[in-house]
Protein backbone atom coordinates (compact mmCIF):
# COMPACT_ATOMS: atom_id res chain seq x y z
CA UNK A 1 0.00 0.00 0.00
CA UNK A 2 1.43 3.35 -0.86
CA UNK A 3 0.69 6.90 -1.91
CA UNK A 4 -0.99 9.78 -0.30
CA UNK A 5 -4.58 8.82 -0.09
CA UNK A 6 -6.88 6.00 0.80
CA UNK A 7 -6.99 2.96 -1.40
CA UNK A 8 -10.69 2.46 -0.86
CA UNK A 9 -12.89 2.31 -3.94
CA UNK A 10 -15.87 2.75 -1.71
CA UNK A 11 -14.52 6.06 -0.51
CA UNK A 12 -13.73 7.03 -4.08
CA UNK A 13 -17.36 7.03 -4.95
CA UNK A 14 -18.23 9.29 -2.10
CA UNK A 15 -15.35 11.68 -2.57
CA UNK A 16 -15.82 12.65 -6.16
CA UNK A 17 -19.55 13.17 -6.16
CA UNK A 18 -20.24 16.79 -6.95
CA UNK A 19 -16.94 17.71 -5.37
CA UNK A 20 -16.32 20.38 -7.91
CA UNK A 21 -19.71 21.96 -8.34
CA UNK A 22 -18.86 25.12 -6.51
CA UNK A 23 -15.35 25.48 -7.89
CA UNK A 24 -14.69 28.40 -10.13
CA UNK A 25 -12.31 27.14 -12.82
CA UNK A 26 -10.35 30.38 -12.68
CA UNK A 27 -9.42 29.80 -9.08
CA UNK A 28 -7.73 26.56 -9.98
CA UNK A 29 -5.50 27.59 -12.83
CA UNK A 30 -2.91 24.89 -13.33
CA UNK A 31 0.65 25.30 -14.49
CA UNK A 32 0.08 22.49 -16.97
CA UNK A 33 -2.99 20.53 -17.91
CA UNK A 34 -2.65 17.40 -19.99
CA UNK A 35 -5.62 15.66 -21.55
CA UNK A 36 -4.74 12.09 -22.51
CA UNK A 37 -6.67 9.89 -24.88
CA UNK A 38 -5.91 6.54 -26.45
CA UNK A 39 -8.90 4.73 -27.88
CA UNK A 40 -6.89 1.57 -28.53
CA UNK A 41 -6.62 0.91 -24.79
CA UNK A 42 -9.73 2.86 -23.72
CA UNK A 43 -7.80 5.58 -21.93
CA UNK A 44 -9.19 8.98 -21.05
CA UNK A 45 -7.18 10.77 -18.41
CA UNK A 46 -6.37 14.24 -17.11
CA UNK A 47 -3.02 15.17 -15.60
CA UNK A 48 -3.10 18.48 -13.73
CA UNK A 49 0.24 19.87 -12.70
CA UNK A 50 -0.64 22.80 -10.51
CA UNK A 51 2.73 24.22 -9.54
CA UNK A 52 6.32 23.00 -9.76
CA UNK A 53 8.09 25.92 -8.09
CA UNK A 54 9.21 23.74 -5.18
CA UNK A 55 9.85 20.60 -7.21
CA UNK A 56 8.10 18.02 -9.35
CA UNK A 57 4.38 17.77 -8.78
CA UNK A 58 3.59 15.00 -6.33
CA UNK A 59 0.08 13.61 -6.25
CA UNK A 60 -1.95 10.48 -6.72
CA UNK A 61 -3.70 8.92 -9.68
CA UNK A 62 -7.42 8.64 -9.06
CA UNK A 63 -9.56 6.21 -11.06
CA UNK A 64 -13.17 7.27 -10.88
CA UNK A 65 -16.34 7.78 -12.87
CA UNK A 66 -17.37 11.36 -13.59
CA UNK A 67 -20.67 12.81 -14.70
CA UNK A 68 -18.97 14.60 -17.57
CA UNK A 69 -15.49 15.39 -18.84
CA UNK A 70 -15.48 18.90 -17.41
CA UNK A 71 -16.08 17.48 -13.94
CA UNK A 72 -13.02 15.25 -14.32
CA UNK A 73 -10.89 18.21 -15.39
CA UNK A 74 -12.13 20.39 -12.56
CA UNK A 75 -11.49 17.65 -10.04
CA UNK A 76 -7.94 17.02 -11.27
CA UNK A 77 -7.15 20.74 -11.14
CA UNK A 78 -8.69 21.26 -7.75
CA UNK A 79 -6.95 18.25 -6.21
CA UNK A 80 -3.65 19.25 -7.79
CA UNK A 81 -3.95 22.73 -6.25
CA UNK A 82 -4.63 21.14 -2.87
CA UNK A 83 -1.46 19.06 -3.27
CA UNK A 84 0.54 22.23 -3.92
CA UNK A 85 -0.63 23.59 -0.59
CA UNK A 86 -0.10 20.32 1.25
CA UNK A 87 3.44 19.82 -0.01
CA UNK A 88 4.41 23.44 0.52
CA UNK A 89 2.91 23.54 4.01
CA UNK A 90 4.86 20.41 4.90
CA UNK A 91 8.05 22.11 3.67
CA UNK A 92 8.70 19.38 1.12
CA UNK A 93 10.63 19.73 -2.13
CA UNK A 94 7.55 18.94 -4.18
CA UNK A 95 5.03 20.87 -6.18
CA UNK A 96 1.42 19.83 -6.52
CA UNK A 97 -0.18 17.62 -9.14
CA UNK A 98 -2.93 15.07 -9.46
CA UNK A 99 -4.37 12.98 -12.23
CA UNK A 100 -7.64 11.27 -12.87
CA UNK A 101 -8.27 8.32 -15.13
CA UNK A 102 -11.90 8.24 -16.16
CA UNK A 103 -13.65 5.04 -15.21
CA UNK A 104 -15.76 4.32 -18.30
CA UNK A 105 -16.79 0.75 -17.60
CA UNK A 106 -14.93 -2.55 -17.92
CA UNK A 107 -11.22 -2.19 -18.72
CA UNK A 108 -9.93 -4.69 -21.30
CA UNK A 109 -6.40 -4.86 -19.90
CA UNK A 110 -5.72 -2.77 -16.83
CA UNK A 111 -1.94 -3.19 -16.93
CA UNK A 112 -1.80 -2.03 -20.55
CA UNK A 113 -4.02 0.94 -19.75
CA UNK A 114 -1.82 1.99 -16.81
CA UNK A 115 1.34 1.55 -18.85
CA UNK A 116 -0.09 3.76 -21.58
CA UNK A 117 -1.02 6.35 -18.97
CA UNK A 118 2.59 6.17 -17.75
CA UNK A 119 3.76 7.06 -21.24
CA UNK A 120 1.73 10.24 -21.08
CA UNK A 121 3.15 11.02 -17.64
CA UNK A 122 6.65 10.50 -19.05
CA UNK A 123 6.04 13.19 -21.66
CA UNK A 124 5.53 15.87 -19.04
CA UNK A 125 8.47 14.88 -16.85
CA UNK A 126 7.20 17.08 -14.04
CA UNK A 127 4.80 14.75 -12.29
CA UNK A 128 5.43 11.98 -9.75
CA UNK A 129 2.26 9.89 -9.53
CA UNK A 130 1.23 7.76 -6.57
CA UNK A 131 -1.65 5.58 -5.46
CA UNK A 132 -4.94 7.33 -4.85
CA UNK A 133 -8.53 6.25 -4.60
CA UNK A 134 -9.34 3.58 -7.14
CA UNK A 135 -5.72 2.70 -7.97
CA UNK A 136 -3.34 0.15 -6.48
CA UNK A 137 0.37 -0.46 -6.13
CA UNK A 138 0.13 -2.85 -9.11
CA UNK A 139 -1.33 -0.03 -11.21
CA UNK A 140 1.49 2.27 -10.20
CA UNK A 141 4.03 -0.42 -11.01
CA UNK A 142 2.60 -0.53 -14.54
CA UNK A 143 2.73 3.28 -14.74
CA UNK A 144 6.35 3.20 -13.55
CA UNK A 145 7.25 0.56 -16.13
CA UNK A 146 6.72 3.26 -18.76
CA UNK A 147 9.87 4.90 -17.44
CA UNK A 148 8.58 7.40 -14.92
CA UNK A 149 9.28 7.84 -11.25
CA UNK A 150 6.32 6.85 -9.12
CA UNK A 151 5.90 7.48 -5.39
CA UNK A 152 5.09 3.97 -4.48
CA UNK A 153 6.32 1.42 -2.00
CA UNK A 154 4.81 -1.52 -0.25
CA UNK A 155 5.08 0.41 3.02
CA UNK A 156 1.74 1.68 4.32
CA UNK A 157 1.90 5.47 4.90
CA UNK A 158 -1.10 5.39 7.24
CA UNK A 159 0.84 5.08 10.53
CA UNK A 160 2.77 8.22 9.59
CA UNK A 161 -0.40 10.03 8.62
CA UNK A 162 -1.89 9.05 11.98
CA UNK A 163 1.22 10.22 13.85
CA UNK A 164 0.93 13.61 12.17
CA UNK A 165 -2.78 13.91 12.91
CA UNK A 166 -2.14 13.00 16.55
CA UNK A 167 0.52 15.72 16.72
CA UNK A 168 -1.95 18.19 15.19
CA UNK A 169 -4.60 17.23 17.73
CA UNK A 170 -2.20 17.59 20.67
CA UNK A 171 -1.16 21.03 19.44
CA UNK A 172 -4.76 22.14 18.93
CA UNK A 173 -5.79 20.88 22.38
CA UNK A 174 -2.82 22.66 23.95
CA UNK A 175 -3.83 25.87 22.18
CA UNK A 176 -7.55 25.74 22.87
CA UNK A 177 -7.49 24.27 26.36
CA UNK A 178 -4.20 25.83 27.49
CA UNK A 179 -2.95 22.46 28.75
CA UNK A 180 -0.54 19.78 27.67
CA UNK A 181 -1.38 16.20 26.82
CA UNK A 182 -4.70 14.63 25.95
CA UNK A 183 -5.46 12.90 29.23
CA UNK A 184 -9.24 12.85 29.60
CA UNK A 185 -9.78 14.63 26.29
CA UNK A 186 -12.68 13.09 24.39
CA UNK A 187 -11.75 12.42 20.77
CA UNK A 188 -14.32 11.16 18.33
CA UNK A 189 -12.56 9.23 15.58
CA UNK A 190 -14.76 8.96 12.50
CA UNK A 191 -13.43 6.00 10.52
CA UNK A 192 -11.74 3.04 12.19
CA UNK A 193 -9.56 2.28 9.18
CA UNK A 194 -5.82 2.48 8.63
CA UNK A 195 -5.40 6.03 9.88
CA UNK A 196 -8.27 6.16 12.37
CA UNK A 197 -7.13 2.94 14.01
CA UNK A 198 -3.56 4.08 14.52
CA UNK A 199 -4.75 7.50 15.70
CA UNK A 200 -7.12 5.99 18.26
CA UNK A 201 -4.35 3.76 19.65
CA UNK A 202 -1.90 6.65 19.92
CA UNK A 203 -4.30 9.01 21.70
CA UNK A 204 -5.81 6.34 23.96
CA UNK A 205 -2.31 5.36 25.10
CA UNK A 206 -1.96 8.98 26.21
CA UNK A 207 -5.14 8.94 28.27
CA UNK A 208 -7.64 10.25 25.71
CA UNK A 209 -11.21 9.06 25.90
CA UNK A 210 -11.77 7.63 22.43
CA UNK A 211 -15.17 7.37 20.78
CA UNK A 212 -15.26 5.46 17.50
CA UNK A 213 -17.76 5.74 14.67
CA UNK A 214 -17.54 3.68 11.51
CA UNK A 215 -19.98 2.66 8.79
CA UNK A 216 -18.72 -0.85 9.58
CA UNK A 217 -20.09 -1.26 13.11
CA UNK A 218 -18.03 -4.40 13.80
CA UNK A 219 -14.82 -2.58 12.90
CA UNK A 220 -15.75 0.30 15.17
CA UNK A 221 -16.52 -2.08 18.02
CA UNK A 222 -13.23 -3.96 17.63
CA UNK A 223 -11.23 -0.75 17.72
CA UNK A 224 -13.17 0.65 20.66
CA UNK A 225 -12.56 -2.57 22.58
CA UNK A 226 -8.87 -2.46 21.79
CA UNK A 227 -8.40 1.10 23.01
CA UNK A 228 -10.80 0.96 25.93
CA UNK A 229 -13.18 3.39 24.28
CA UNK A 230 -16.76 3.24 23.14
CA UNK A 231 -18.66 3.44 19.89
CA UNK A 232 -21.44 5.56 18.49
CA UNK A 233 -23.45 4.85 15.37
CA UNK A 234 -21.91 6.19 12.17
CA UNK A 235 -24.92 8.51 11.76
CA UNK A 236 -24.24 10.04 15.17
CA UNK A 237 -20.58 10.84 14.50
CA UNK A 238 -21.17 14.50 13.78
CA UNK A 239 -23.57 15.23 16.61
CA UNK A 240 -21.97 13.35 19.50
CA UNK A 241 -20.47 15.67 22.14
CA UNK A 242 -16.68 15.52 22.17
CA UNK A 243 -13.67 17.80 22.51
CA UNK A 244 -12.09 16.83 19.20
CA UNK A 245 -13.76 15.54 16.07
CA UNK A 246 -11.20 13.65 13.97
CA UNK A 247 -12.61 12.93 10.50
CA UNK A 248 -10.72 9.90 9.18
CA UNK A 249 -13.25 8.45 6.75
CA UNK A 250 -14.94 10.57 4.15
CA UNK A 251 -14.71 14.02 2.61
CA UNK A 252 -16.79 17.10 3.33
CA UNK A 253 -18.01 16.27 6.82
CA UNK A 254 -18.02 19.94 7.77
CA UNK A 255 -20.66 21.57 5.63
CA UNK A 256 -23.34 24.23 6.06
CA UNK A 257 -25.73 21.33 6.65
CA UNK A 258 -23.71 19.71 9.46
CA UNK A 259 -21.84 22.49 11.25
CA UNK A 260 -24.81 23.58 13.35
CA UNK A 261 -25.04 20.08 14.78
CA UNK A 262 -21.37 19.68 15.70
CA UNK A 263 -20.71 19.38 19.44
CA UNK A 264 -16.93 19.72 19.50
CA UNK A 265 -14.33 22.42 20.06
CA UNK A 266 -11.77 21.23 17.53
CA UNK A 267 -11.95 19.56 14.13
CA UNK A 268 -8.66 17.92 13.14
CA UNK A 269 -8.32 14.75 11.13
CA UNK A 270 -6.92 12.89 8.16
CA UNK A 271 -9.70 13.09 5.60
CA UNK A 272 -8.92 15.27 2.59
CA UNK A 273 -11.50 17.92 1.77
CA UNK A 274 -12.91 18.01 5.27
CA UNK A 275 -14.62 21.29 4.44
CA UNK A 276 -17.44 21.14 1.91
CA UNK A 277 -16.67 24.69 0.84
CA UNK A 278 -14.86 27.79 2.01
CA UNK A 279 -17.92 29.17 3.73
CA UNK A 280 -17.70 26.20 6.08
CA UNK A 281 -14.44 27.57 7.51
CA UNK A 282 -16.29 30.77 8.49
CA UNK A 283 -19.22 28.82 9.89
CA UNK A 284 -16.92 26.72 12.08
CA UNK A 285 -15.18 29.84 13.37
CA UNK A 286 -18.53 31.50 14.05
CA UNK A 287 -19.42 28.52 16.24
CA UNK A 288 -16.10 28.85 18.08
CA UNK A 289 -14.80 25.58 16.65
CA UNK A 290 -11.11 25.53 15.80
CA UNK A 291 -10.47 23.90 12.44
CA UNK A 292 -7.00 22.54 11.76
CA UNK A 293 -6.66 22.56 7.96
CA UNK A 294 -6.70 18.99 6.64
CA UNK A 295 -3.73 19.56 4.36
CA UNK A 296 -1.59 20.54 7.36
CA UNK A 297 -2.72 17.75 9.69
CA UNK A 298 -2.64 14.87 7.20
CA UNK A 299 0.74 15.51 5.59
CA UNK A 300 2.39 12.50 7.27
CA UNK A 301 1.82 10.45 4.11
CA UNK A 302 3.65 12.85 1.81
CA UNK A 303 6.39 13.35 4.38
CA UNK A 304 6.77 9.57 4.34
CA UNK A 305 7.13 9.62 0.56
CA UNK A 306 9.83 12.27 0.82
CA UNK A 307 11.67 10.19 3.42
CA UNK A 308 11.59 7.12 1.21
CA UNK A 309 12.81 9.12 -1.74
CA UNK A 310 15.67 10.72 0.18
CA UNK A 311 16.44 7.52 2.11
CA UNK A 312 15.98 9.33 5.43
CA UNK A 313 15.94 6.96 8.38
CA UNK A 314 12.93 6.26 10.59
CA UNK A 315 14.18 8.66 13.24
CA UNK A 316 14.31 11.62 10.89
CA UNK A 317 10.98 10.69 9.37
CA UNK A 318 9.41 10.60 12.81
CA UNK A 319 10.84 14.00 13.70
CA UNK A 320 9.63 15.46 10.40
CA UNK A 321 6.12 14.13 10.91
CA UNK A 322 5.98 15.37 14.49
CA UNK A 323 6.85 18.87 13.27
CA UNK A 324 3.24 19.01 12.10
CA UNK A 325 2.45 19.71 15.77
CA UNK A 326 4.73 22.75 15.89
CA UNK A 327 3.32 23.94 12.59
CA UNK A 328 -0.24 23.72 13.92
CA UNK A 329 0.70 25.57 17.08
CA UNK A 330 2.31 28.39 15.08
CA UNK A 331 -0.58 28.76 12.71
CA UNK A 332 -3.19 28.79 15.47
CA UNK A 333 -1.17 31.42 17.33
CA UNK A 334 -0.89 33.55 14.20
CA UNK A 335 -4.59 33.12 13.49
CA UNK A 336 -5.42 34.33 16.99
CA UNK A 337 -2.98 37.21 16.82
CA UNK A 338 -4.24 38.44 13.47
CA UNK A 339 -7.91 37.57 13.78
CA UNK A 340 -7.80 35.42 10.68
CA UNK A 341 -8.91 31.86 10.10
CA UNK A 342 -6.31 29.12 10.59
CA UNK A 343 -7.14 28.02 7.04
CA UNK A 344 -6.26 31.44 5.63
CA UNK A 345 -3.05 31.56 7.64
CA UNK A 346 -2.01 28.08 6.51
CA UNK A 347 -2.71 28.89 2.87
CA UNK A 348 -0.80 32.14 3.08
CA UNK A 349 2.20 30.44 4.71
CA UNK A 350 2.27 27.80 1.97
CA UNK A 351 2.00 30.40 -0.78
CA UNK A 352 4.69 32.54 0.84
CA UNK A 353 7.04 29.58 0.88
CA UNK A 354 6.41 29.00 -2.82
CA UNK A 355 6.89 32.68 -3.66
CA UNK A 356 10.11 32.95 -1.65
CA UNK A 357 11.49 29.81 -3.25
CA UNK A 358 10.55 31.15 -6.67
CA UNK A 359 12.37 34.43 -6.00
CA UNK A 360 15.48 32.64 -4.73
CA UNK A 361 15.52 30.35 -7.76
CA UNK A 362 15.10 33.30 -10.13
CA UNK A 363 17.95 35.18 -8.42
CA UNK A 364 20.20 32.12 -8.66
CA UNK A 365 19.41 31.85 -12.36
CA UNK A 366 20.31 35.50 -12.91
CA UNK A 367 23.65 34.98 -11.15
CA UNK A 368 24.34 31.86 -13.21
CA UNK A 369 23.54 33.73 -16.42
P1 LIG B 1 -9.51 3.31 5.21
O2 LIG B 1 -10.23 2.90 3.97
O3 LIG B 1 -8.48 2.40 5.77
O4 LIG B 1 -10.56 3.60 6.38
C5 LIG B 1 -11.72 4.36 6.18
C6 LIG B 1 -12.73 3.90 7.21
O7 LIG B 1 -13.86 4.78 7.12
C8 LIG B 1 -13.27 2.47 6.97
O9 LIG B 1 -13.20 1.74 8.17
C10 LIG B 1 -14.71 2.70 6.51
O11 LIG B 1 -15.57 1.66 6.91
C12 LIG B 1 -15.04 4.01 7.22
N13 LIG B 1 -16.13 4.75 6.62
C14 LIG B 1 -16.45 4.90 5.32
N15 LIG B 1 -17.52 5.68 5.20
C16 LIG B 1 -17.88 6.06 6.44
C17 LIG B 1 -18.88 6.90 6.97
N18 LIG B 1 -19.77 7.51 6.17
N19 LIG B 1 -18.96 7.06 8.31
C20 LIG B 1 -18.09 6.45 9.13
N21 LIG B 1 -17.10 5.64 8.69
C22 LIG B 1 -16.99 5.46 7.36
O23 LIG B 1 -8.90 4.77 4.88
P24 LIG B 1 -7.62 5.44 5.56
O25 LIG B 1 -6.41 5.09 4.81
O26 LIG B 1 -7.66 5.22 7.01
O27 LIG B 1 -7.89 6.98 5.24
C28 LIG B 1 -8.88 7.69 5.95
C29 LIG B 1 -9.06 9.09 5.37
O30 LIG B 1 -7.83 9.80 5.42
C31 LIG B 1 -9.47 9.08 3.89
O32 LIG B 1 -10.34 10.15 3.69
C33 LIG B 1 -8.17 9.34 3.16
O34 LIG B 1 -8.37 9.97 1.92
C35 LIG B 1 -7.45 10.25 4.12
N36 LIG B 1 -6.00 10.20 4.02
C37 LIG B 1 -5.35 9.02 4.24
C38 LIG B 1 -3.97 8.96 4.17
C39 LIG B 1 -3.24 7.69 4.44
O40 LIG B 1 -2.01 7.73 4.63
N41 LIG B 1 -3.90 6.55 4.49
C42 LIG B 1 -3.17 10.17 3.85
C43 LIG B 1 -3.96 11.38 3.69
C44 LIG B 1 -5.33 11.37 3.76
pLDDT tens, position by position, 324-352: 999 999 999 999 999 999 999 999 999 99
Is residue 118 within 8 Å of 145, Cβ to Cβ?
yes
- Given pLDDT bands bounded at 50, 70 and 90, which one contains residue 21? very low
- Given pLDDT bands bounded at 50, 70 and 90, which one contains residue 24? low
Measured in Å, residue 43 CA sits from the centre of ligand 1 at 28
Whole-model pTM: value is 0.90
Least confident of 66-70, 195-199, 334-338: 66-70
Cβ partners under 8 Å of residue 320, min gap 6:
303, 306, 307, 312
Mutating to test ligand 1, I would choose from 1, 190, 193, 276 the residue with most ligand atoms within 8 A of its C-beta, which is 193
Ligand 1 in contact with 335 (CB < 6 A)? no
Give yes or no: 86 in active site: no
Mean pLDDT for 199-204 is 98
In ligand 1, the atom with minimum distance to the C-alpha of 161 is 40
Mutating to test ligand 1, I would choose from 151, 192, 195 the residue with most ligand atoms within 8 A of its C-beta, which is 195
Q: Where are the beta strands (DSSP E) in the chain?
A: 32-38, 43-51, 57-64, 95-102, 127-131, 186-190, 209-213, 230-231, 244-247, 266-267, 290-291
Strand pairing report for 43-51 and 32-38? antiparallel
Is residue 232 within 8 Å of 205, Cβ to Cβ?
no
Ligand 1 in contact with 6 (CB < 6 A)? yes
Is residue 255 within 8 Å of 249, Cβ to Cβ?
no
Amino acid sequence: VCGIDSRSNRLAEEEHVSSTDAIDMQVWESEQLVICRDDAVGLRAVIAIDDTTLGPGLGGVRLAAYGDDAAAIREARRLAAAMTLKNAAAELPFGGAKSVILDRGPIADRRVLMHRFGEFVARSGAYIPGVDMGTTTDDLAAVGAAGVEVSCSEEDPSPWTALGVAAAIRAAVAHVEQRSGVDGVRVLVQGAGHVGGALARDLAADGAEVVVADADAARAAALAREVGGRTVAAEAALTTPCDVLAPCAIARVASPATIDGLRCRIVAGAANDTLADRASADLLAARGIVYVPDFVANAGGVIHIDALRSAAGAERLRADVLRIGARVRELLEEADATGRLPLAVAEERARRRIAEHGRTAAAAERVAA
